[in-house]
Amino acid sequence: MSEDRALLRVAGLTAGYGGAPALFGVDLTVGPGEIVTLVGNNGAGKTTLLRAVSRVIAASGTLKFDGTDIVPLTPEQVFARGLVQVPEGRQLFGHMTVEENLMMGAHKRRDRSGIADSFAWVHELFPILAERRHQLAGNLSGGEQQMCALARALMAAPRLLMIDEMSLGLAPVIVDQLLAVLDEIRRQHVAIFLVEQDVFAAFEVADRGYVMETGRIVRHGPSRELAEDPAVRAAYLGVEAGS
């Protein structure tokens, strides 16, 4: 997509840990209302990229959110602008109830009057959370915990939702349910950046995709085209070239 229309623009991004780079000149964009996926094997640098965009780790290069340079910002400032991450492993407050976890997502909102509407929306998306609202989050099933993590992020009223390994450890039927919910979220004008190791699931829901290997973007394009790319199919979908 055109860079001047991008909600998130990443260009020439380099980042790492302890002086050792893990990302090398990464370029990508996410447009308003898009679902964009970043796929790659474990250790490719996908989570490092999210941590850099969220400003949890230092990075050099261009990072712009809605046209504003976010490199100098803190994670709290980025969050306040509507760039919200669902971390790998969900990271719920297990000793708190589902309802208390959702309220934690909304605790920095300025539009306090909109919180009730957000509660109604996430309960519509995930009816099981309404039923479990007084249950401790730590006692939920894996799929319910992922729903709670997504709902908590939505309570922050994000403009861009970044999701790290949504399908990790979940049964295929639960993953299908969550993919359907992502499409519903996008319909409410929330852009989604989905970082996934499950390439098949990611390409199923995303408009566009990027393939990362050892900290570099090696392919990008419409998801349908990437899903049919012989090299991508052989490397990530277990399909031999020419099949």
Q: What is the pLDDT of residues 71-120, one digit of tens each?
A: 999 999 999 999 999 988 889 999 999 999 999 999 888 887 889 999 99
- Per cent of the chain over pLDDT 90 is 81
CATH 3.40.50.300, the chain: domain bounds: 1-82+158-243
Task: Give me the pLDDT at residue 13, please.
Answer: 97
Q: Which CATH superfamily is domain 1-82+158-243 in?
A: P-loop containing nucleotide triphosphate hydrolases (3.40.50.300)
> Of 36, 9, 28, which Cα lies nearest the Cα of 193?
36
Identify the three-state secondary structure at position 242: coil
Kindly state the tokens that stand for 4.
Answer: 């001047």
Kindly state the tokens that stand for 31.
Answer: 């447009």
Q: What band does 235 get if pLDDT is binned at 50, 70 and 90?
A: confident
Residue 38 has pLDDT above 70, yes or no: yes
Q: Decide if 66 contacts 159 (C-beta within 8 A).
A: yes
User: CA-CA distance, 215 to 187, in Å (whole number)?
Assistant: 31
Q: Name the residue with higher pLDDT: 17 or 136.
A: 136
DSSP state of 66: T
Kindly state the tokens that stand for 153.
Answer: 């992020």
Task: Give me the pLDDT at residue 242, please.
Answer: 45
Kindly state the tokens that stand for 173.
Answer: 């039927």
